[in-house]
Amino acid sequence: MKMMLSLGWLFIAIVHKAEPLISDNFADCRVYFYKEQLPEGFDGIALPHHFNPSDLPDGINESELTSPAYICQQYGNKFHFASLYDRGRRIPLYSAYILDRNSSSQITNKRKKLYKIEPQLVYRQLGGTMKLQNVTKRNIEIYKINQGILEANEKNDPDYLIRTSQAVDADYRNSGYNRGHVNPRLHHVTADGQNATFTFTNVAPMTKKLNNNIWNQYENKTIGYADGCTTMYVVTGIVPGNNWIKRMNTDRVNIPSYVWNAYCCVDNNDKPIKSGAGLKENDISDRPVNEMAINDLQGKLKHLLKFSGNIAMFFNNCA
Ligand SMILES: *[C@@H]1O[C@H](CO)[C@@H](O)[C@H](O)[C@H]1NC(C)=O
Ligand SMILES: *[C@@H]1O[C@H](CO)[C@@H](O)[C@H](O)[C@H]1NC(C)=O
Ligand SMILES: *[C@@H]1O[C@H](CO)[C@@H](O)[C@H](O)[C@H]1NC(C)=O
Ligand SMILES: *[C@@H]1O[C@H](CO)[C@@H](O)[C@H](O)[C@H]1NC(C)=O
Ligand SMILES: *[C@@H]1O[C@H](CO)[C@@H](O)[C@H](O)[C@H]1NC(C)=O
């Protein structure tokens, strides 16, 4: 049985080699960006990965541990959206997606879901599909056997590999922070489109107040903004903060200081009809989301990120 499993996995691993994995500049999921143009100004702010560069786990190639990681979010054999993942802070800097429901369509899939993780952040060869943590752990064990990585030391331990490469369930549990979806389930109508948002590379620590009330109400409101659009492109992101969710005295997951969002609504000729943006502190105040023009958001982000370069959400500012 064990042998069959290994051979089966070897076959899967070979097949996966031809598949898009962590994708250079989102080459495999450009359709989620207006005119396929990526937001400018965010790539430089990510922090480096957490593996020890002088004692890397066996089978990990350091030049593939670049931060940010460009993740084309894959679930059920399909791409659903794109996330720029900061390996150092273990949160997405943004997720980009198409809002695919309107104010008259009903949310279908209300069941509580388990959050998945991203196997390719450990070994690219594990494939580009999000998986549950226990499944990923099993896949790592099989991959290691196939690669002849037999040394049973700490640095090759599957649990260590997983928690070093990304945020996991244990980080959020009892942290006092919610798993705040960056690309929200509410903006999707199909079951797999909604399920695909339940992955730790699409969530960041948010206060309960922000996640359940203030930001949630804004997300609900923006569904209405999509009425009359052929396509509404959305980029939602965070501003990294100074505080972290800690475990055993180490910084694990960065707690954003702000959450922001920008949308670009176009007609069937790809011509912009309207656009807008929102910005809110990740705090417990009752203040609503500060809605503004995209240009204003870009100016504020430049200041908050202390960034001297250009910040541009959309092709031609969605104008
Ligand atoms: C490491 O990854 C880089 C980039 O993908 C690749 O060019 C290089 O050949 C890899 N090195 C090894 C030893 O696999
Ligand atoms: C809104 O979504 C519903 C359900 O998916 C669909 O039947 C309807 O045609 C949509 N309306 C518009 C204006 O897109
Ligand atoms: C992983 O956990 C889920 C949910 O707890 C369970 O349904 C599934 O059978 C587990 N899979 C493996 C491979 O352990
Ligand atoms: C979505 O997730 C639920 C709960 O995990 C699962 O029962 C359902 O089969 C999934 N649906 C799709 C289309 O992936
Ligand atoms: C979303 O907004 C609609 C009105 O546009 C309202 O009827 C509904 O209750 C709101 N839902 C939530 C979860 O806030």
Domain boundary assignment for the chain: 7-113+178-318
Q: Are 149 and 135 in contact (CB under 8 A)?
A: no
Using CB distances shorter than 6 Å, the residues near ligand 4 are: 76, 111, 113, 191-192, 195
Q: What is the pTM for the complete model shown?
A: 0.91
Burial class (CB in 10 A: 0-12, 13-18, 19+), 173: exposed
Q: Which atom of ligand 4 is nearest to the CA of 113?
A: 5
Q: Which of 17, 64, 66 to mutate to test the pocket of ligand 1 (most atoms within 8 A of CB)?
A: 64
CATH architecture group of domain 7-113+178-318: 3-Layer(aba) Sandwich (3.40)
Q: Which atom of ligand 1 is nearest to the CA of 61?
A: 1
10-residue averages of pLDDT along the chain (319 residues): 38 38 83 97 95 94 92 96 98 98 79 91 94 98 92 90 98 97 95 95 98 97 96 98 97 98 98 98 97 98 94 97
Rounded alpha-carbon distances, angstroms, from residue 218 to 93, 167, 222, 278, 290? 19, 26, 6, 8, 10
Q: Which of 99, 101, 104 to mutate to test the pocket of ligand 2 (most atoms within 8 A of CB)?
A: 104
Residue nearest to atom 2 of ligand 5 (CA): 220
Long-range (24+ apart) CB contacts under 8 A made by 9-13 are 9/139, 9/142, 9/143, 9/146, 10/146, 12/127, 13/125, 13/126, 13/143, 13/146
For 186-236, the DSSP string reads GGB-SHHHHHTT-BGGGEEEE-HHIIIIIHHHHHHHHHHHTTT-SEEEEEE
Instruction: Report the separation in Å between the CA atom of 60 and the middle of ligand 1, taken as the mean of its atom positions.
Output: 10
**pLDDT for the residue numbered 72:** 97
**pLDDT for the residue numbered 23:** 74
Of residues 103, 154, 309, 130, the one with CA closest to residue 202:
130
**pLDDT for the residue numbered 9:** 41
